[in-house]
């Protein structure tokens, strides 16, 4: 599976589970530098689940670009291990 395919699978899972994860956590899982993780991808609802560790929000997104349920869950998966566990053990 390519890093783009892994990223798409993670995005799909995050959206289904209405769960945010940090750029760093996701970048680690797909073996891609955090800085370039979202390069070439649109600023839309699906991609807004990947967020900044500092703000809990996606970088460079306007209010209408973010999914309406983005802040539904207060928890943000901030490490690769948290993301891996969440993906492996089902989404709450």
Task: Reply yes or no on whether the pLDDT at 91 is more than 70.
Answer: no
For the stretch 19-63, pLDDT in tens is 999 999 999 999 999 999 999 999 999 999 999 999 999 999 999
Supply the pTM of this predicted model: 0.93
Beta bridge partners, 51, equal: 22
Q: Where are the alpha helices (DSSP H) in the chain?
A: 3-17, 23-30, 80-88
pLDDT class of 1 with cuts at 50, 70, 90: confident
Q: Which residues are within 8 A (CB) of 3 and not within 5 positions of it... i.e. 6 or more apart?
A: 30, 31, 32
Q: Which residues are within 8 A (CB) of 7 and not within 5 positions of it... i.e. 6 or more apart?
A: 26, 30, 32, 37
Which tokens belong to 10? 């993670």
């Amino acid at each position: 599976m390519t890093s783009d395919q892994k990223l798409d699978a993670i995005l799909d899972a995050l959206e289904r589970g209405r769960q945010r994860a940090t750029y760093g956590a996701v970048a680690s899982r797909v073996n891609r530098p955090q800085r370039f993780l979202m390069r070439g991808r649109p600023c839309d609802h699906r991609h807004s689940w990947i967020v900044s560790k500092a703000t809990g929000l996606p970088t460079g997104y306007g209010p209408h670009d973010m999914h309406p349920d983005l802040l539904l869950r207060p928890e943000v998966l901030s490490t690769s291990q948290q993301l891996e566990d969440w993906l492996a053990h089902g989404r709450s």
